[in-house]
Amino acid sequence: MPRKQKVDAEVKIREVLNYLNDGKRIIEISKEVGVSQEQVRRWVLTYKASGIEGLKNKSTNKHYSTETKILAVKDFLSGKYSQIAVCSKYKISGISVLQRWIIKYNNNHNMTKSHNSKENKIMIKGRKTTFNERVEIVGFCIANNFNYHLTSDKYKISYQQIYNWVKKYKKDGYKGLEDKRGKTTDIASMTDKEQLEMQMKLLKIENERLKMEIDFLKKLEEIERR
């Protein structure tokens, strides 16, 4: 995998201003600078959240307290604030920084290097589930942007169980969710029609989530130009 190209701060600032003030298209900037369109969008979001300072290449990482990280993530997950608003509120240097915190929070990783906090331990024990339940749980997790904590709370299933099911589904599809320990597997007892319906159900959820992401990116440019 090629290394990510480091772009001078002056170039980032210039191109973001060209986009916001002169209507230059993201695809044009992407081709001229030699970075992905997603990277250009991140520059725009970072500029809106933190101004010119946010686009400057830092020699050292800015330190944030654990409290700040948790408050910022919870504000975003509440649905009341956009990522830009959260970054502005807590003076976070960039959107990508907040996104890393969100991923760690959702994946139950500690927000600091310390492993002494009891708050990060999963208290819900594993329980037996049916094949249909596992399909429903994995579908809910995917539909909610792989938020394992939310899924765990809703279905009273351990975080680790859900994580493993999603991992198996990504690798083997819906067949990865069956319990093969018995003499008759879950899928073997289903008709072809039932298997097809099960597969289509999960694919529909994935497609809807993907469509939401695409629609968001399309709307992003419209909103930023207002």
pLDDT digits (tens, 9 = 90+) for 138-152: 888 888 777 777 888
Nearest to 205 by CA among 144, 154, 130, 133: 144
pLDDT of residue 33: 94
Asked if the structure places residue 223 within a domain, the reply is no
Which residues in the chain land under pLDDT 70? 1-5, 58-61, 79, 106-126, 180-188, 209-226
Residue 43 lies in a domain: yes
pTM score of the predicted model:
0.42
Rounded to 5°, angle at Cα 81 from 93 and 118: 75
Note down the domain range covering 87. Answer: 65-121
Tokens of 82: 């956009």
Alpha-carbon gap, residue 58 to 66, rounded angstroms: 21
Name every residue whose Cβ is closer than 8 Å to that of residue 110 and which is 6 or more positions away in sequence.
104, 117, 120
Same domain, yes or no: 149 and 213:
yes
Q: Does 224 map to a domain?
A: no
Domain boundary among 121, 140, 164: 121
Q: Are residues 14 and 41 in the same domain?
A: yes
Res 119: pLDDT: 40
Residues 163 and 110 in one domain: no
* CA nearest to 166, candidates 213, 124, 205, 125: 205
Reading the block at residue 134, the tokens are 């596992």
Residue 11 lies in a domain: yes
Q: Are residues 213 and 137 in the same domain?
A: yes
Dist CA 16 CA 29 (whole Å) = 9
Could you tell me if residue 207 is inside a domain? yes
